[in-house]
Structures are given as C-alpha cells and as structure tokens.
Structure 1
Amino acid sequence: MSFLNSISQATAAQQTTSSGNPFLDGVRLQTNAAVPEAKKQELTQEDFFALLSQQLSMQDPFKPVENDQMIAQMASFSTVDGIAKLNDHILNLNTVMTSSQALQASGLVGQKVLIPSATGNVSKEEPNIKGVISTPTKIDQITVRIEDAKGQLVKSFTVDGSEGGNIDVNWDGLDAEGKPVAEGNYTIKASGKVDGKAQELPVSTYAHVTSVSLGTAATGAILNLRGVGGIKLTDVLAVAEG
C-alpha cells in the first residue's frame, strides 16, 4: 500500500464518522482520544542503554565517541544506581536497628535510669528524688538546694563531698518544716568551694521508666519517664533497680 493510499483511507474514515456538526465532531474526537499513561520521572538502566544505543547510532562515523568517554558514562550511571540501592539498604538497616533498639529498651520499663537533668518528679509512687552530684575534686561540704517549678526554695541541706567524684544525694520529699511537698517537678541544685571559690556543680537525677516509644532512625528508642517526659535511650547515664 502506498503512502498516498494510506492518507486517502484515513481521510475517508474520518469523513464516515463525521456528523456534519463541528461541535459534535469535536466532542466525539475528545471522547475517543486515548489518555496517555503516566510515566515515572526517573531513568532506569534500560532507559540509559536505550539512550546510549541512540547516541551510538547517530554519531558521526568519522568522529566516533572515544572508548574512555563511553566507559566514563557507563561508570557514572552504575555509580549513581549503586548509590541509590545503597541508600535503600541503609534505610532498611536503620529501620531494623530502631526496632531492635526499642525491643531492648522495653526491658527498662519499671526501672530507674539516671538522666543528665537536675529536675526530678515527686509523686505518690515516688515521694522522694535521688540523684548524683558530680564534683571535679574533693569538697568538704556541698550545699544542696531544692527548688519548685517556680524557682522558689523549698529546702536546703548539706552533703559530704570529701570523697570527690560522683556523690549520691537523696531528698526525702519534705520541705523545711518537715511536711511532704505537693506532687510535681522539683530541681536539685548543688554548690561547693573549688579552689576556694564557690562553684555550681552538675546534678543528674533518677527517673522511673513508664514506657518506651519506637522513635525514628535519627533519635532511636525513646524512654518515657514519669512526670519528666521523654529522653533518648542513648542519653541514659546509668540504670538502677526499680
């Protein structure tokens, strides 16, 4: 069949389907038009080799592409493809590690953990607050101040710091008059003389683990602490008996 005959048959077919009304013919053409399927906006390895074959077929035979250029193109695509697959494997590995970490952290539910925070919680279940004062050197006497959420002084007392290092501190939850304080968060502050000068000392407190959250790949497992909030498992300093 010749090219002119094909055009004639196509024209005749269009005329047989024409209704004589331009508007109806326009609507009919729109309804019969096929909607192209959506394609992915990324190149696959098959697309790359198709483009490479097209490039080779259209190159100047007197100025062909150098072998090193072709190898460089193929190596670049292989590198990008390998990096993409590596990223997928890393994401899967992070998911598995996060789940495994959360499973291990679930064993801490009901235990007490030492956290780098001077704020502890007083409740019916835990009417006292325990913590650790870190000292850079031996201090004869350490002054401890207990403050409420508003920063008001509740009670003060001293502890022996002559051994130096980490000094245990335990507040019984009673105010200066010996009465139990209201439930809530309280802050332990400590100070002492280092080389003859008064210095604030870092304090860490124990908190009760009530539950564990899965978290994300960036944060890892999250420990939910009674009255204090959440903390990353990696920030825990020590674990004590519940």
Structure 2
Amino acid sequence: MSQVNNDNTTNSILSNLNIANKNKDDKNSNELGQSAFLELMITQMNNQDPLSPQDNGDFIAQLAQFSSVEGLERLNNRFEEFSGSFMSNQALQASSLVGRQVTVPTEKTLLFDGGIVSGSVRLEESTNDMRINVYDEAGEQVSAIPLGSRPAGDLSFRWDGQNVEVNGELLDWIGGEEPLPGGEYRFEVLVTQDGKTEQLETALSANVNSVSMGDDGRLTLNLAGLGAVNIGDVKQFN
C-alpha cells in the first residue's frame, strides 16, 4: 500500500506505485510467438504423411485459434496500460487532497484553534424544534444551539467554537464570551416531530492528513481525529 502525505506527495506516490517508470516484465522464453507458430505449422505440413494428409480445415482451425489467443493477449496488454494510466491519475488526484477538508458521516471531529467545523444533516420532514448540542472530549455538554422551526431538506452549518452559521446565515444566538479551545467535539442534532425527539445522522468536516492507495487502486483517506475512511464515504470535498 502506498501512502501520500505532505512531503513531495505527487512524486512519492508515483514512485511507490511504480506507475510512471514501470518496467514491463520480460516475456517468457518458452512463449510461442507468431513466427514460431508459423514455422512449426510449416514443418508439420512438410512432414505429414503424404498418404494421409491433414485436412485443410484443421490448419485453418489452428490459425484461427492462434489468432484468437494473440488477439486476447493484445487486449490484455492494452487493458494493463489503461489500468496503469488510471491508477496514475488516481495518484495525482490523491496527492491534491492532503491538507484539505472533506465531509464524512460522523458525530465527532476535531476543531483546530481559529478553525471552523462544517456539517450537514438532512430533514426528511419539517420540524418545529431543532437544536444542536455540542459535547467536548470528556462528554460534557459545552454548547446548546437552538435552531427553531426548519423545513424539510438539507441543512448545513458552520461552527467556530462560538458562533453558528446555518445555510449561510449567521444566527443571532451568540455563544460564550470566548471561543471554545481546539479539540475533539461531538455533535448531536435533535429534531422534534409529532411530540417525539429524534437524533439525525450528521456529516462533519475533517482534515485529510494523508491518503493511502492499495494495490487495487482504491483510495483510503486518513483523517485527523477519525482515522482511515474509504473515499467512497466522502459526502463533500471542501
């Protein structure tokens, strides 16, 4: 498995994957090439029993079979070249993710000093009471953010440890006198519908520390505070 980090990411992953300068394996010396096959067939014709010669159809069948095998071999070679090119492009894309933020399904993430945590939830139905509770690493509630009535649909929010912006609008609600310090925080988004309170699934932002690429070309993001996350689980590239 290859890993991409901040140190010369592009050259590192290409070197580790050995894509850019990949050497082709030497052909097996026992492999039957086209010229060898034709020479063998001519020798077979010269040495066949004149009283019982091989039917022409048999020779044609041999040629057709060899042509099919040769065509499949060329197709496999082309596919390997295409696969190598695809993995090379994946490697270049992976290197650009390091240092950026992505949004993934999770309840907790890291807030860096002076940074912002962005998140999103989806309301299947409208609600007359929505709120976000924030807990620190010790499990103590450090913030309670009332959002009031909200229509059905996607809702995004940004939190800097003090103030909250919802769907691009800064709330009048003000947090503490000072922003909360950086650290790990857990977010609980609650809605009340028909007298019942339900917790919604949240997606939060996290920093990409490094990217790992498996031999099969699959990318795994190593996120700050969260660990390894499959790139297919990413909801948004920030």
User: TM-score with structure 2 length normalisation?
Assistant: 0.59
Q: Which residue of structure 2 aligns with residue 86 of structure 1?
A: 75
Alignment of 1:103-114 (within 5 A): 103-114=92-103
Give the partner amino acid of 2:235.
Answer: L
Structure 2 contact 136–142 (Cα < 8 Å) conserved: no
Matched, 1:138 2:126: yes
Aligned with 1:119 (options 108, 112, 115): 108
Matched, 1:70 2:59: yes
How far the C-alpha of 1:131 sits from its partner, in A, is: 0.9
**Structure with the higher fraction of residues in helix conformation:** 1
Structure 1 contact 99–214 (Cα < 8 Å) conserved: no
1:25-59 deviation line (CA, Å, top 9, x unaligned): xxxxxxxxxxxxxx745433344334434543454
Structure 1 runs not aligned, ≥5 long = 1-38
- Percentage of matched positions with identical amino acids: 30
RMSD: 3.9
Q: Helix, strand or coil: the match of 2:68?
A: helix
How far the C-alpha of 1:65 sits from its partner, in A, is: 3.9
Structure 2 runs not aligned, ≥5 long = 1-27, 163-175
How far the C-alpha of 1:142 sits from its partner, in A, is: 3.2
Higher relative contact order (CA 8 A, sep 6+): 2
Matched, 1:165 2:153: yes
Aligned with 2:87 (options 98, 109, 112): 98
CA distance in 2, matches of 1:145, 1:69: 80
How far the C-alpha of 1:133 sits from its partner, in A, is: 0.7
Give the partner amino acid of 2:204.
Answer: T
Structure 1 contact 94–217 (Cα < 8 Å) conserved: no
CA distance in 2, matches of 1:138, 1:129: 24
Q: Which residue of structure 2 aligns with residue 33 of structure 1?
A: none
Structure 1 or 2, whichever has the larger Rg, is: 1
CA distance in 2, matches of 1:91, 1:139: 53
Aligned length: 196
